[in-house]
Structure 1
Amino acid sequence: MKRPVSQQSVKVVLGRAEIPVGSLSFNKDGARESSTFAYREDWLKSADRFEISPDLLLVEGNQFRKPPSRDDSIFHFAFADTEPDGWGCRVIARDHARRRKSAQEKGADVPRAGLTEMDYLLGVDDMSRIGALRLMDDAGNTLRTIEDGGRGTPPLLELAHLIGATRAVEMNRETAADLKYLRGRGTSLGGMRPKCTIFDEDGQLAIGKFPSIKDDRSVTRGEVLALHLAAAAGITVAQSRIVMSDDIPVALVRRFDRVADGGRIPYLSAGSMLQASRQEEHAYTGIADCIVARCVDPKRDLEELWRRLVFNLLITNVDDHVQNHGFLHVEHGQWRLAPAFDINPFPDKDSELKLWLNEDYGPVDSIEAVVNEAGYFRLETGEAKRVLGEVCRAVSDWKRVAKSAPVGMTDEDLDAFQPAFENEQTKMALALL
């Protein structure tokens, strides 16, 4: 039997101005999926051209992508960064299954059974898509657009509705209306936790992160606390605060890939910059090498990266994988570290980070080893000690910041999070100073 072959192509444009960049094609041959991308000739000749992805050279013709493993995306890295995260995929899959069931009951045309990676890529609302890459059909419609001209991104006033819909999905009790409301509003940043793109009170784009029904501590307050401590430690961070909806604390984190007038900034995750397979281990020194090769101000970003490394260890942020670090485009193919985001203290975990220190040392588990490696980040001994002192002072003030208005922790919350901030690594850091 001949295997079914199909192809689907979309136009790729850049930013609010919708500058044409190229075309992306999805290819399915039986169970095999792959993709190709080709730059437009006028983009290759443009004075503003740059490689939109580190695996897409500025050359003519189709550039083929086949994933190295089952866990890796079939799309080139920059497009993979815009795919929905675990939560977004969950909503898209549930919505598709319910649509199929509804069509069968009505005797209407039934959508095909399986979703392809292209379906998931196009399942993200255009307004929410991370970075500046946008996808369009032949008619010039950005993908995904909301049916019936409805609003794709809800305002802060609709938090209660959003929480209700996400809770229903978590409990496997969602209705068709819940899924229609959440459809396309997921994000590319942040794994399986319930969240949604949202407009803040001033009209700026943000991510609303909701407590999970499985939480045994206030995870949303913990993330906002970590971001405020990071800022106090001299780290560039995404703006955040806790907002309450019917006594439920929601973490509101501003999007850093947008500017005030609605402009979009190209974004790449550190995983994409490294061209990293999801099945491999990765190290902070590898990210440092990317900074040296691609960033407009390597000295500044190397110090910032080492500062984040120290901070992550001292607050027990053990979920510091390469998708939780990123870069924003400056100009002409030069980049800078994006503000820190998705930083979470884990009081129930040992202080061993997900990222390695380097290929020889393995996972980060010692502040002393981190200090000894400071030279790789172009820090002299005195500079490293200065940075370490600034981070230690910020982390030691965690209880006061936790009680502040933007975070709003209770005494019970303080008890729950204490092991994340007061542990052997923080003691060792103070001893080194």
Structure 2
Amino acid sequence: MALTQKKVDVALGQSAIPVGELAFAKDGRREHSTFAYDAAWLSNAASFAISPDLPLVGGNQFRKAPSKEDSAFHFAFADTEPDGWGCRVIARDHARRRKAAQQNGKPLPNAELSEMDYLLGVDDMSRIGAIRLLNPDTGAFLRVIEDGGRGTPPLLELAHLMAASRAVEMNKETEADLRYLRGRGTSVGGMRPKCTVVDEDGHLAIGKFPSVNDDRSVTRGEVLALHLAAAAGISVADSRIVMSEDTPVALIRRFDRVEGGSRIPYLSAGSMMQASRQEDHAYTQIADTIIANSVNPGQDLQELWRRLVFNLLITNVDDHVQNHGFLHVEHGQWRLAPAFDINPFPDKDQELKLWLDEAYGPVDSIKAVVSMAGYFRLDAATVQRILGEVCAAIGNWASVAMSAAVGMSGRDLEDFAPAFEHEQIRIARTLLK
């Protein structure tokens, strides 16, 4: 197979400060990338390492995926690649383009998409964090929208977005559906159908749609979990249910943008830890990362333990390291990003994906979580206070579920009850003195 090479310029933030150059090469099935900082960035007093595996040194820094689950790009760039749903849309769009070119006798696109193709398949407007990619020849931001239209549609187009996404889920999408969804995916959120949208006040958000395979109101469940988390004292992404033609859509505000559209550098916890996606990871490892990198480690450690308790007690069993993140503050110091992708799983046992520590294994016991609180630098009084606040918030789950903000029905309450009413929450209440 022919050698494929591509280079893009890398900039940071709304003002697009030049940071360096990213190069990608594919030779057969072997893929790798290199990144080199600009000399001006290295000499900038405000500079910082944009990725934990990219120290502030001159010259090319090489990256090859250590396993098939890992990325060929350094961690900060890997975080901006499309999620599972975005990859599905990109792959479908590519296959349809090849078929159309073949039918019209035009030159065929490459048969197989490279990892660089997926990285560039997220539009500049939607890319998470502050990293931006530019064409090195023209200096233009790499956009995916080809018709001059908006890279991010307004909230009033939710019905159109949902219909196109539903068509992709059912393998019935048209060329127009794919053209409409192209570039409008996200970098977080897994395989569920979703799209980046602009809220009514101009703020960037993610619209999450029901799946054709859902047997419960997953979108309402996520908004319920986020509202309960806020009541439990956890910093969370703002969320609400928006109805689109009688269908509940979860609208989650992007926390990596601020007023005026400024962008905040973001790293997932997995990237901050330089963790392989092939391995298991633990909350204590995230705690170690906080101690090493947080601008306020005491506050973030307490927040992380609070989230650990909450995740166990609402049966959020999809709490992997990509579902925790950090936002840059200044001078290479970071803070925990607001919690996101919190979902109750009423059909699962209370055993989290993340381990408590390497010795204990997956989190499955509130007593074990409490016994480990010292690792998070918490004293007994703080443990009691946090546990009480989380239990009180979860105890009110049915009222919050039926509130106007969530809008669950009686049937929804029956569906979700096992996620909130179980043995571990009962044990947690016995631990309160």
Same fold flag (TM > 0.5): yes
Q: Which residue of 2 aligns with 1:428?
A: 427
User: Partner amino acid for 1:33?
Assistant: E
Contact preservation (8 Å) 2:121, 2:144: no
Deviation of 1:144 (Å)? 2.6
1:44 to 30, 42, 45: 42
Contact preservation (8 Å) 2:144, 2:182: no
Q: Which residue of 2 aligns with 1:64?
A: 62
Does residue 296 in structure 1 map to residue 295 in structure 2? yes
CA deviation string 1:351-379 (max 9, x = no partner): 00000000000000000000000000000
User: Partner amino acid for 1:414?
Assistant: L
SS of the counterpart of 2:256?
coil
Gaps of 5+ in 1: none
Does residue 191 in structure 1 map to residue 190 in structure 2? yes
Structure 2 distance, partners of 1:394, 1:311, is 9
Q: Which residue of 2 aligns with 1:93?
A: 91
- Structure 1 runs of 4+ with >3 Å offset: none
Structure 2 distance, partners of 1:213, 1:145, is 27
SS of the counterpart of 2:92?
helix
Does residue 14 in structure 1 map to residue 12 in structure 2? yes
Structure 2 distance, partners of 1:416, 1:299, is 38
Where in structure 2 are the equivalents of 1:109-128 lying within 5 Å? 109-128=107-126
Q: Which moved more, 1:24-33 or 1:292-301?
A: 24-33
Does residue 382 in structure 1 map to residue 381 in structure 2? yes
Q: Which residue of 1 aligns with 2:346?
A: 347
Structure 2 distance, partners of 1:76, 1:196, is 25
User: Partner amino acid for 1:65?
Assistant: R
Q: Which residue of 2 aligns with 1:23?
A: 21
Structure 2 distance, partners of 1:366, 1:145, is 46
User: Partner amino acid for 2:181?
Assistant: L
Number of aligned residue pairs: 431
CA deviation string 1:275-315 (max 9, x = no partner): 00001000000000000000000000000000000000000
Where in structure 2 are the equivalents of 1:71-90 lying within 5 Å? 71-90=69-88
CA deviation string 1:13-35 (max 9, x = no partner): 00000000000000112221000
Structure 2 distance, partners of 1:61, 1:400, is 58
Deviation of 1:403 (Å)? 0.7
CA deviation string 1:128-159 (max 9, x = no partner): 00000000002111113421321110101001
User: Partner amino acid for 1:142?
Assistant: F
Deviation of 1:6 (Å)? 2.6
Q: Which residue of 2 aligns with 1:211?
A: 210
Q: What TM-score does the superposition give when structure 1 sets the normalisation length?
A: 0.99
User: Partner amino acid for 1:341?
Assistant: F
CA deviation string 1:204-223 (max 9, x = no partner): 00000000000000000000
User: Partner amino acid for 2:201?
Assistant: D
Q: Which residue of 1 aligns with 2:168?
A: 169
Contact preservation (8 Å) 2:35, 2:60: yes
SS of the counterpart of 1:148?
coil
For the aligned residue pairs, the C-alpha RMSD in angstroms reads 0.6
Deviation of 1:56 (Å)? 0.3
Structure 1 distance, partners of 2:97, 2:3, is 24
SS of the counterpart of 2:168?
helix
Deviation of 1:406 (Å)? 1.1
SS of the counterpart of 2:352?
coil
Structure 1 distance, partners of 2:29, 2:255, is 37
Q: Give percent identity, aligned residues only.
A: 74
Deviation of 1:328 (Å)? 0.1
Deviation of 1:112 (Å)? 1.2
Deviation of 1:79 (Å)? 0.2
Deviation of 1:4 (Å)? 2.4
SS of the counterpart of 1:36?
strand
Q: Which residue of 1 aligns with 2:222?
A: 223
SS of the counterpart of 2:200?
coil
User: Partner amino acid for 1:432?
Assistant: L
User: Partner amino acid for 1:254?
Assistant: R
Does residue 395 in structure 1 map to residue 394 in structure 2? yes
Structure 1 distance, partners of 2:177, 2:145, is 15
Structure 2 distance, partners of 1:70, 1:245, is 39
Q: What TM-score does the superposition give when structure 2 sets the normalisation length?
A: 0.99
Q: Which residue of 2 aligns with 1:305?
A: 304
Q: Which residue of 2 aligns with 1:369?
A: 368
User: Partner amino acid for 1:110?
Assistant: L
